[in-house]
Amino acid sequence: FEGQMARWSPVEYLRFESDKSNSAWTQCLVSELNNSLLAVIGAR
């Protein structure tokens, strides 16, 4: 699974996960990514 995930871009992976099922795991991952992006933007 990890190896497969590494071949995909994050956007492609999130799109796949969202299409597969709007799972709590996907929502959690999106939330974490958003927090990380906000932290990076805020650090500039």
pLDDT at 21: 62
- Does pTM top 0.95 for this prediction? no
pLDDT at 1: 47
Number of domains, the chain = 1
Token match 């994050």: residue?
10
Chain-centre distance for alpha carbon 41: 17
Q: How far apart are CA 8 and CA 20, in angstroms?
A: 15
pLDDT at 3: 57
- In the chain (44 residues long), the average pLDDT of successive 10-residue segments reads 61 73 73 88 80
Domain that holds residue 20: 2-43
